[in-house]
Structure 1
Amino acid sequence: MTAYTLSRRLVAEALGTGLLVATVVGSGIMAETLTHDIALALLANSLATGAMLVVLITILGPISGAHFNPAVSLASCLGRTLAAADLAPYLAAQFVGGIAGTMAAHLMFSLPVLDMAMKVRAGPAQWFSEAVATFGLVAVILAGVRFEQKAVPWLVGLYITAAYWFTASTSFANPAVAVARAFTNSFSGIRPVDVPGFIGAELAGALIAMMLIGWLLRPQPAHQSQSAKAQS
């Protein structure tokens, strides 16, 4: 596998997170403009986001790992697939890229470059939804990389598309995306005051997934396996 310099990996993370957020925010604005049917708008938003994830992970994954998500980078660092020294730069690139994505979406639709969101997204159901959404995302990535690495772009895209619909929070599952969406007063926005609750829930879900799925995927030691066969 080709190794890329840290600077290239950081640009890939910023670019990927920016394009992801531009898709989330931009498709939300487009849907809100074209229809007053909230279910139809959410469908458009979820399909665009899932499709873009497949594309971004496919083309940028070989460069940076295609995290585009601080929770995924944290899980990767704890799992020792991302160097500890690279964690802070990855997070910075993701947050900067995410906010740039919101700005790009606003410019495309002739809106103020940044605009504070007013949409309320708070309460135990929303926080639990974010924990579940992020747990599932990290579980999909860990198991996908282990068993079918080439399918990971599709697995993540399909999972997020589905999670838009089965979670009360519409599955942000990403601290960088949550922060970026605080700067858009559109369909996909979230009040800045509600962001910390989302981030806390997302990180909790990611850590639980790391522990549970990490244990689930741990193979039985060879000597124990041979002993079990001998006893049977």
Structure 2
Amino acid sequence: MPSLGRRIVAEWLGTALLLTAVVGSGIMAQKLSGGNVALALLCNTIPTGAILVVLILIFGPVSGAHFNPAVTLAFAYGGEQQWSVACLYIVTQIVGGIAGVWLAHLMFELPAWQISLTQRTGSGQWLAECVATMGLLLTIFGCIARNAAATPYAVGLYITSAYWFTASTSFANPAVTIARSLSDTFAGIAPGGVAAFIAAQLLGAIIATVLSGWMWNPAGTVQTPR
């Protein structure tokens, strides 16, 4: 197993690059779409799904490529990671996500520090985040149980799809949600909506963890890679 230092750097860098792709592609999409929101969303979706495949392939062998506190918590619950390490992962993911947002802003010559004004709230969006996160974790656990090599591609495809079938455009990640509240761009979310999104995401993660333990592991607990 790689050293803890290498795992932490991998989680930081992977989450940072993920947010750079999410926010950067959103800024570029908004610039080039001529006000067509559907086209802008499509141009934001494709790079996000693609970068997830790449990041999981390159950082998976180092840290597991969680890039998501909900995933980390589920793995810790399954006993495949110490809770102390999980806490370090989560802090690292949040810090990395914020750094990635700032990097995207600077590349497009925007102020690094921003607060989003985009309101994303309501029962439909909260349900969407619960469903999006549940589906993401089921994708991960299902692939791990039956075909671990397919995980990067399945996750990328799932997020690409969930961008369009969920009302919230599938944040499905507490670190991503926090980071995107610091970007007043196409991908942003106003800080007032963050807590409810994260609560919905964690509920989705709990449902997926219970379901995956029942569905794919006779012992009744989450199956995670060793």
TM-score in same-fold range (> 0.5): yes
CA contact (8 A) 2:71 2:137 kept: yes
Alpha-carbon offset, residue 220 of structure 1:
8.1
Q: Determine the C-alpha separation between the residues in 1 that align with 2:66 and 2:219.
A: 29
Please give the TM-score of this superposition, normalised by the length of structure 1. Answer: 0.93
The CA deviation string for residues 57-96 of structure 1, in whole angstroms up to 9 with x for no partner, is 0000000000000000000100111111201100010000
Q: Determine the C-alpha separation between the residues in 2 that align with 1:66 and 1:105.
A: 21
The CA deviation string for residues 89-109 of structure 1, in whole angstroms up to 9 with x for no partner, is 000100000000000000000
Q: Determine the C-alpha separation between the residues in 2 that align with 1:174 and 1:146.
A: 22
The CA deviation string for residues 25-46 of structure 1, in whole angstroms up to 9 with x for no partner, is 0000000000111111111111
Alpha-carbon offset, residue 212 of structure 1:
1.1
Q: Determine the C-alpha separation between the residues in 2 that align with 1:33 and 1:61.
A: 33
**Match of 2:16?**
18
Q: Determine the C-alpha separation between the residues in 1 that align with 2:151 and 2:212.
A: 16
**Match of 2:154?**
155
Q: Determine the C-alpha separation between the residues in 1 that align with 2:82 and 2:219.
A: 27
- 1:214 is aligned to 2:213: yes
Q: Determine the C-alpha separation between the residues in 1 that align with 2:214 and 2:12.
A: 31
The CA deviation string for residues 106-163 of structure 1, in whole angstroms up to 9 with x for no partner, is 0000000020000000010000000000000000000111111111000000000000
C-alpha RMSD of the superposition: 1.1
Residue pairs, 1:23-38, within 5 angstroms: 23-35=21-33, 36-38=35-37
Q: Which of structure 1's runs of 4+ aligned residues deviate more than 6 A?
A: none
**Match of 1:196?**
195
**Match of 1:53?**
52
**Match of 2:93?**
94
CA contact (8 A) 2:213 2:219 kept: no
- 1:4 is aligned to 2:2: yes
Task: Please identify the structure whose Cα radius of gyration is greater.
Answer: 1
Q: Determine the C-alpha separation between the residues in 2 that align with 1:83 and 1:155.
A: 26
Residue pairs, 1:102-117, within 5 angstroms: 102-117=101-116
- Equivalent position SS for 2:217: coil
Residue pairs, 1:62-211, within 5 angstroms: 62-211=61-210
Q: Determine the C-alpha separation between the residues in 2 that align with 1:130 and 1:32.
A: 23
Q: Which runs of 5+ in 2 are unaligned?
A: 221-226
- Equivalent position SS for 2:158: helix
Q: Which runs of 5+ in 1 are unaligned?
A: 222-232
Q: Determine the C-alpha separation between the residues in 2 that align with 1:17 and 1:156.
A: 15
CA contact (8 A) 1:102 1:114 kept: no
**Match of 1:229?**
none
The CA deviation string for residues 155-200 of structure 1, in whole angstroms up to 9 with x for no partner, is 0000000000000000000000000000000000000010000000
The number of residue pairs the alignment matches comes to 219
Once the two structures are aligned, what percentage of the paired residues are identical? Answer: 53
